[in-house]
Structure 1
Amino acid sequence: MSLFLLLSNMSSCEAQLSTIFYNKTCPNALTEIRNVVRCAVSAERRMAASLIRLHFHDCFVQGCDASILLDETPIIQSEKTAIPNISSVRGYNVIEDAKRTVESLCPGVVSCADIVTLAARDASVAVGGPSWDVKLGRKDSTTANRARENTDLPSPFADADTLISAFSVKGLNTRDMIALSGARTLGQAQCFLFWSRIYSNGTDIDPGFASTRSRKCPRTGGDTTLAPLDLVTPNSFDNNYYKNLVQRKGLLQSDQVLFTSASTNSIVQFHFTRLSDLKG
């Protein structure tokens, strides 16, 4: 999937990346990282979505530099504690396991930035999603930017114009944004992120869908209760994301607006039709 490849190549440095970067210095690195990711996803299917999201949150601020892995220090304000990440982004333990494994093979060779990027690809494959060639050779960041994590990452309440603008700043156009959004066919969201949508009685939400969702997320209580973004196949990478939007069953407001907005509707329809045709 070229859009994941484009995201993976977002970087704050000008280093030349290559798919064969570790072929001589650590030839078994990619296999070992893949094995760690497969085991993690096998143990907890939801981990696939978590690793893809971890990669996105890393890349969207400062490029794909593993800055999101840095802990708080007297001179670093950790991105882990940014509002979109704290008690939400997960998968750090899988990256640590993969790093520990490759360090035992070739100490000081494979960057955490490359491991995060490879883990996202391998997580996608593990749940039936696309694969892509990952260019490697990133350097790990020694700085983090919590402030930009708080301001740059797209809000689940954003309208279409705001989303388009946020991605445009990163060099991604509207088609790129909608294609990348399709990764939300996986994963879960906390109730407080979509309460206003399911209780809105709006015309952009299917009434039956809203009623079903309200059973697990009542008007009061359960702020952090998790609900799958896709009720049908929450742990499989498929085209249900676009199908849900067409049926007014997008869980987050920032997803459903991609179908209801005139500036993005035709692209969502294209992805829905194209992927439906491919399925037969």
Structure 2
Amino acid sequence: MTAITVTADRIKAAQDGDRKALGEVLEGVQDQVHKLSRRILVDPEDAREATQEILILVLTKLSTFRGESAFATWVYRVAVRYLLHSKKIRDRDPGLTFEAFAADLETGLVADPPDAPDHALLLNELRISCTMAILLCLTMELRLAYVLGEIFELEHGEAAEILELAPAAYRKRLSRARSEVVAFTGRHCGLASLSARCLCPRRLPAAIKAGRIVPGHTPNSEGANESYSEVRSRIGTVIDSLKAFRLQQAVPEERCPQDIRAQLTGILSQLA
């Protein structure tokens, strides 16, 4: 998925009311807005709703962009402010903690799991779902710092500007988030540590029984370029301090859902 790359002339034309340019601006930012929403909120429907509302904010606030920062920085700041301050998002926060997640992962593990007909697909779905859920154990502030720094791999100065923090404060926040994710992954994920109890094949039967993984329904792993076995093999070759990072990077990227694109087109068509 490409980064946000909208040219200055199209931004200016959009600010002047050119509907075609407005469409091009939204087209240029929607995938990254959805990627951010998905990694922060995890739940597909919550991410879908947040994406739509953030894109509408970008549309309505576009006139306030003065070029004092990069356009991508401005868009991410609009998104971050929404994610931080939306009452709907606060009310839906699952309140997951590392302690509760660890206990859940170690419940119902089986030593000799049976193979299901779509075993390989379900293992990949479980691997990706669990990797994404780890970030829900972070506070929203730490989660945003981690996603911008580790998953989007933004320069620290840009990430600090997006989060409206001093660079030193951002680095401290990112370091704390990274440490918590690395520590949890190293203790509890069998893909990262041979001593961890939880490994996807051992966990899959309990995840299916609990309804967290549904046979025939693999929304998180659709479009994945690597299988579970390929990721497991690759993660095994990197040093311990990089395993959590590589697992998070192995989550497939999704494009903005087509229905949101259609809704935005409808909104633009109604503009005078």
Q: Which band: TM-score by shorter chain?
A: under 0.3
Query: Bigger radius of gyration, 1 or 2?
Result: 2
Tell which has more relative contact order, 1 or 2 (C-alpha 8 A, sep 6+). Answer: 2
